[in-house]
Chains A and B, each alone.
Chain A
Amino acid sequence: MEQPLYISQTVVIKNGTYIHNGKELLHSSASDMTGFIKECYKMLGIEYPKFFKMDNLSKLAILAAEKILQGKQQTNTALLFSNAVSSLDFDLKHQQTIADKEAYYPSPAVFVYTLPNICIGEVSIRHQLKSESAFFVSEKYDTGTMFDYTNYLIQQGKADQVLCGWINQLHDAYEIVMYLVDKQGERIHTKEEINKIFN
Chain B
Amino acid sequence: MKKVFIKETNIITPLGFDVSSNWTALVKDQSGIEIQNQWENIPSVYASCINTAALNKAFDAVVTTSAPFTRVEKMLILALEPLIEKQGVKEDTLLILSTTKGNIFYLESGETAQAYLNELAEKIARYFHFQTRPIVISNACVSGVMALSVAKRMLQMNTASDAYVIAVDEVTEFVLSGFQSFQALSPQPCRPYDEKRNGVTLGEAAAAVYVTVQPDDAKAEIIGDANINDANHISGPSRTGEGLFLSIQAAIKEAGISQHAIDFISAHGTATLYNDEMEAVAFNRAELNKVPINSLKGYYGHTLGASGLLETVITIESLCRNLLISSKGFENPGVSQPLNIIQQHTEKEMKVALKTASGFGGCNSAVIFKKTE
Question: Which A residues form the contact surface with B (CB < 8 A)?
Answer: 79, 84-86, 88, 91-92, 94-95, 97-99, 101, 104, 106-108, 111-112, 114-118, 120-122, 124-125, 127-139, 142, 145, 148-149, 151-152, 156, 158
Contact = CB atoms under 8 A, between A and B. Distances in A.
A134 B229 contact: no
A130 B229 contact: yes
B115 A88 contact: yes
The 8 A-B pairs at the shortest CB distance, nearest first, are namely A121-B361, A111-B178, A106-B181, A106-B177, A137-B136, A124-B231, A124-B229, A117-B139
A147 to B, nearest CB: 10
Contact of B41 (A88, A104, A137): A104
A135 B137 contact: yes
Taking each of A98, A115, A125, which has the highest tally of chain B beta carbons within 10 Å of its own beta carbon?
A115
Given A92-B107, A148-B159, A84 B360 contact: no
Given A134-B146, A135-B137, A148-B157, A95 B108 contact: yes
B137 to A, nearest CB: 6
A111 B234 CA distance: 12
Interface string B143-160: 000100010011011010
Given A91-B174, A137-B116, A145-B135, 8 more contacts: A86-B117, A95-B108, A121-B361, A124-B231, A129-B231, A145-B154, A149-B154, A149-B157
Contacts of B83: none
A133 B133 contact: no
Given A111-B178, A148-B159, A86 B234 contact: no
Interface centre among B107, B182, B242, B361 (most CB of A within 10 A): B361
A125 B156 CA distance: 30
B137 A134 contact: yes
B174 A98 contact: yes
Contact of B174 (A95, A125, A128): A95
Given A118-B361, A129-B231, A94 B150 contact: no
Contacts of A94: 174, 177-178
Contacts of B180: 106
Given A88-B112, A152-B153, A118 B174 contact: no
Contacts of A128: 231
A86 B140 CA distance: 11
A164 B366 CA distance: 22
Given A108-B181, A111-B182, A149-B154, A130 B108 contact: no
A197 to B, nearest CB: 20
A152 B156 contact: yes
A136 B137 contact: yes
Given A101-B41, A112-B360, A117-B138, A125 B231 contact: yes
Nearest to A121: B361
Contacts of A79: 229
Given A88-B115, A121-B361, A131 B181 contact: no
B138 A137 contact: yes
Nearest to A116: B138
